[in-house]
A and B are shown apart, each in its own frame.
Chain A
Amino acid sequence: MAVVFEKPKSLTDAELHYCPGCTHGIIHRLVAEAIDALGVEGKTIGVAPVGCAVMAYNYFSCDMVEAAHGRAPAVATGLKRSLPENVIFTYQGDGDLASIGMAETVHAATRNENITVIFVNNAIYGMTGGQMAPTSLPGQVTQTSPYGRDIATAGYPVRVSEMLSMLDGPEYIARVAVNNVKNVRNAKKCIEKAFRNQIENKGFSLIEVVSSCPTNWGMTPGKALEWIEENMIPYYPLGVYKDRSAKEEEKA
């Protein structure tokens, strides 16, 4: 009988702790599939964040390092400078990457650090129970914006992909989503490219994955996926924001 679906080798057998309907599971799988497809599990080192994915070190079967909140790009920089032949990736949420770790993110990008960054944007702090994130939408109700995010006092959400694509440093910046099959397929392609870029020494690649948090959004998993389509994607348009090599090829 033909095998039509199996768990990627780069994932362990550990049971995921994520909430039902959470899209972290999908994103973990896409990352693992990319590592499998490129055949680099044995030389890959992942960096886990602080946030819902804090225990990602138990789920990926490659070597893993757990970083302090927001510091994953700095830790990855150390790893890559020490082991330039290895494949180094970080897996970070919006609070980790775009709030407390913004400096580390921007500077790793501007140095064109040859690493792969998986940025999970679900517009909320999940692990601590649903506080406002740097990417929470205007008017979005969270535990710390109970009357809706008021841009007059809490400011605007950060559009990370747009911002980083303004820098000269990074190689590849793309925003994808995992709310339907078509988008998941595209996300898989982009994530694999982000890893391939590193292997080809092209430099800093970041994939922003627009993702859901049914628990803290207070929705059913299905409704959460619709909310991505209706509210998240209009604010965070999908697409490739920067692809230096493609642009250079075009020119040539």
Chain B
Amino acid sequence: MSEKVLMKGNEAIAEAAIRAGCRHYFGYPITPQTELAAYMAKRMPKIGGCFLQAESEVAAINMVYGVSSTGKRVMTSSSSPGVSLKQEGISYIAGADLPALIVNVQRGGPGLGGIQPSQSDYFQATKGGGHGDYHLIVLTPASVQEMADMTALAFDLADKYRMPSMLLADGTMGQMMEPVLLPEEHINAVEKPWAVTGTGMKREHNIINSLYLVPEELEKKNIERFERYKLIEETEARYEAFMMEDAEYCIVAFGIAARISKNAVVALRQMGIKAGLIRPITVWPFPKKAIADAADKVKAFVSVELSMGQMIEDIKLASGCRKPVALCNRVGGMIPSPEEVIECVKNMQGGNN
């Protein structure tokens, strides 16, 4: 049987993708996700797969579109500025109802920003990102183990719902090493009768397309897609609740911010303050119900983010603004310390928010 190995988060994604049956990877170099591409460059040729360093992020995502059109599992990875470049292609992938995996190992922005970790692409990832009405399924790993596990899950969900999925990680998750038990090889065989593989002169031609010039048709397409999104919101929202049973203060955080917040919760409990943590594992769909239920019980929320406050809007919406929501944040590649989170919760306790 397999045993735990030490791997960087970026490498764990690559290996897990291969084990999930992905044999096509397209990307363009950018820090801090390069280990992922390097791993693919090394492995793909040895297993009959395809690694291609594209001329740009724009080209890479369109190569992904091409492979996905043929019904095969395919992925690309990048970091924030590169993911911005991919938005056009992501919109087309969503518009053509194609599955694909996009990995964003976030760094600070806007613009060229920095190379240190960030979570400031939350809006881009969860609210669409490119043009038009669409969503991605967005998973937020908080450990190297989850980097691996969620890669497999992201491929499965993308295939199941015929839509792109995203791993929204950050520089620390990509760069850190932790013991990881790699997932077993699994090829989730989903029928893809829509794929272009050549008609073989046996069927009508398949067309992969996002163009609908008749407004009634385009409206219908959008509404159908959102019916699917509604089902996903009802069934696929994932989160972890930590010490929430009797919590009076609910910290909400994902990824690296959740790791830090866990330390803060433990410390707060030692001080006699009843803190708990809701860690969204999917940020689209956002775990609205968990937040709404918590709003019935807790005195206040604290959103811990590596951004100027993006997820906080979803917390306010999900809680119906019934309880105060404070923001504890650092940006630009800075990371809040557990002490800063503790301080923020204590401030809420004092009632100043």
**Partner-B contacts on A (CB < 8 A):** 12, 41-45, 47, 54-55, 57-58, 60-68, 71, 74-83, 86, 103-104, 106-107
Contacts and interface: CB of A to CB of B under 8 A. Distances in A.
B205 interface: yes
Contacts of A103: 55-56, 58-59
Contacts of B50: 81-82
Interface of B: 24, 26, 50, 52, 54-56, 58-60, 62-70, 72, 74, 88-89, 92, 96, 196-202, 205-211
B92 A86 contact: no
A78 B198 contact: no
A42 B55 CA distance: 31
A47 B70 CA distance: 12
Q: Kindly name the residue among A41, A42, A81 whose own CB sees the greatest number of chain B CB atoms within 10 A.
A: A81
A75 B65 contact: yes
A81 B201 contact: no
Contact of B200 (A42, A54, A68): A42
Contact of A79 (B26, B54, B58, B70): B70
Contacts of A104: 55, 58-59, 62
Given A64-B205, A68-B92, A103-B59, A79 B66 contact: yes
Nearest to B55: A107
B138 to A, nearest CB: 22
Top 9 closest pairs, chain A to chain B, by CB: A78-B66, A74-B62, A63-B196, A43-B198, A78-B63, A107-B55, A71-B62, A42-B201, A75-B66
Contacts of A83: 70, 197-198
A78 B88 contact: no
22 contacts: A45-B197, A45-B198, A57-B209, A58-B207, A60-B205, A63-B207, A64-B196, A64-B205, A65-B209, A66-B207, A66-B208, A66-B209, A68-B65, A74-B60, A74-B65, A78-B64, A78-B65, A78-B68, A79-B66, A82-B24, A82-B72, A104-B55
Contact of A65 (B56, B74, B199, B208): B208
A123 to B, nearest CB: 25
Contacts of A43: 198, 200
B56 A66 contact: no
Contact of B208 (A55, A64, A76, A81): A64
B199 to A, nearest CB: 5
A74 B66 contact: yes
Contact of A86 (B74, B198, B202, B208): B198
A81 B65 CA distance: 12
A65 B198 contact: no
Nearest to A63: B196
Contact of A54 (B24, B67, B211): B211
A221 B70 CA distance: 40
Contacts of B67: 78-79, 81-82
A81 B24 contact: yes
Contacts of B64: 78
Nearest to A64: B207
Given A57-B209, A66-B210, A82-B72, A71 B59 contact: yes
A116 to B, nearest CB: 15
Contacts of A75: 62-63, 65-66, 69
B66 A76 contact: yes
Contacts of B196: 45, 63-65, 79
Given A43-B198, A63-B206, A86-B197, A81 B56 contact: no
Q: Kindly name the residue among B50, B52, B69, B74 whose own CB sees the greatest number of chain A CB atoms within 10 A.
A: B69
B119 to A, nearest CB: 28
Contacts of A68: 62, 65, 88-89, 92
A66 B26 CA distance: 20
A78 B201 contact: no
A45 B70 CA distance: 10
Given A12-B205, A65-B69, 20 more contacts: A44-B198, A45-B197, A55-B211, A63-B199, A65-B66, A66-B96, A66-B209, A66-B211, A67-B65, A74-B58, A74-B59, A75-B62, A75-B66, A77-B59, A78-B62, A78-B64, A81-B67, A82-B74, A103-B55, A103-B56
